[in-house]
Amino acid sequence: MAPRANGIGVQVEDTKICVVMVGLPARGKSFIAQKAQRYLQWLSIDAQTFNVGNYRRTEAPHPSADFFDLGNAEGEKRRRAAAEAAMHDMLDWFRQGGVIGILDATNSTKERRKWVLDTCTKEGIEVLFVESKCDDETMIMANIRDVKLTSPDYVGQDPEQAAQDFRNRIKNYEKVYKSLDEDGDENDYTYLKIMDVGSQVIINRIRDYLQSRVVYYLMNLHIRPRSVWLSRHGESLYNLDGRIGGDADLSPRGHQYAQKLPQLVADSIGEDRPLTVWTSTLKRTISTSRFFPENYNQLQWKALDELDAGVCDGMTYQEIKDVYPEDFVQRDEDKFNYRYRGGESYRDVVIRLEPIIMELERSEDIIIVTHQAILRCIYAYFMKKDQSKSPWMNVPLHTLIKLTPRAYGTDEERFSADIPAVSTWRGKGSTAKHENPTPGANI
**Mode of pairing for the β-strands spanning 17-22 and 126-133:** parallel
Q: Which residues contact 137 (CB under 8 A, 6 or more apart)?
A: none
Instruction: Round to whole Å and give the CA distance between 168 and 153.
Output: 14
Instruction: Round to whole Å and give the CA distance between 321 and 351.
Output: 27
Q: Which residues contact 153 (CB under 8 A, 6 or more apart)?
A: 57, 61, 62, 63
Q: Does 259 bind other proteins (CB under 8 A)?
A: no
Q: Does 186 bind other proteins (CB under 8 A)?
A: no
The DSSP secondary structure of 287-329, one letter per residue, reads HHTTTS-TTSEEEE-GGGSPPP-GGGTT-BHHHHHHH-HHHHH
Amino acid sitting at position 390: S
- For 176, the enclosing helix (H) or strand (E) is helix 159-176
User: Within 220-249, which residues bind other proteins (CB under 8 A)?
Assistant: 220, 247
Strand partners, 128: 19, 190
Q: Which residues contact 138 (CB under 8 A, 6 or more apart)?
A: none
Among 78, 115, 198, 431, binds other proteins (CB under 8 A): 198
Q: Does 219 bind other proteins (CB under 8 A)?
A: yes
Residue 324 burial class via C-beta count within 10 angstroms: exposed 0-12, middle 13-18, buried 19 and up: middle
In the complex, minimum distance from the CB of residue 294 to other proteins, in angstroms, rounded to a whole number: 11
Q: Does 203 bind other proteins (CB under 8 A)?
A: yes
- For 331, the enclosing helix (H) or strand (E) is helix 325-333
In the complex, minimum distance from the CB of residue 15 to other proteins, in angstroms, rounded to a whole number: 12
Nearer to other proteins, 220 or 410 (CB): 220
User: Could you give the residue numbers annotated as active site?
Assistant: 104, 233, 306
Nearer to other proteins, 256 or 289 (CB): 289
Strand partners, 404: 411
Instruction: Round to whole Å and give the CA distance between 78 and 109.
Output: 16
In the complex, minimum distance from the CB of residue 13 to other proteins, in angstroms, rounded to a whole number: 7
Alpha helices in 43-106 (DSSP H): 52-59, 73-95
In the complex, minimum distance from the CB of residue 20 to other proteins, in angstroms, rounded to a whole number: 18
Stretch that binds other proteins, among 108-116, 320-328, 359-367, 423-431 (CB under 8 A): 359-367
In the complex, minimum distance from the CB of residue 201 to other proteins, in angstroms, rounded to a whole number: 5
In the complex, minimum distance from the CB of residue 157 to other proteins, in angstroms, rounded to a whole number: 38
Size of residue set near other proteins by CB under 8 A: 55
Q: Which residues contact 78 (CB under 8 A, 6 or more apart)?
A: 56, 59, 60, 67
Among 121, 150, 164, 212, binds other proteins (CB under 8 A): 212
User: Within 282-301, which residues bind other proteins (CB under 8 A)?
Assistant: 286, 289-290, 297-301
Among 141, 354, 423, 432, binds other proteins (CB under 8 A): 354
In the complex, minimum distance from the CB of residue 11 to other proteins, in angstroms, rounded to a whole number: 5
Nearer to other proteins, 118 or 196 (CB): 196
User: Within 291-350, which residues bind other proteins (CB under 8 A)?
Assistant: 297-303, 308, 310-311, 313, 339, 341-344, 347-348
Q: Does 206 bind other proteins (CB under 8 A)?
A: yes
Stretch that binds other proteins, among 47-55, 202-210, 231-239, 322-330 (CB under 8 A): 202-210
Nearer to other proteins, 12 or 443 (CB): 12
What is the distance, to the nearest Å, from the Cα of residue 316 to the centroid of all Cα atoms in its chain? Answer: 33
Q: Measured on CA atoms in the order 318, 323, 329, 330, is the torsion positive or negative? A: negative
Say if CB 245 and CB 308 are below 8 A apart: yes
Stretch that binds other proteins, among 166-174, 325-333, 360-368, 425-433 (CB under 8 A): 360-368
Residue ranges binding other proteins (CB under 8 A): 1-2, 6, 8, 11, 13, 198-206, 208-209, 212, 215-216, 219-220, 247, 274, 276, 279, 281, 286, 289-290, 297-303, 308, 310-311, 313, 339, 341-344, 347-348, 351-352, 354-355, 362-364
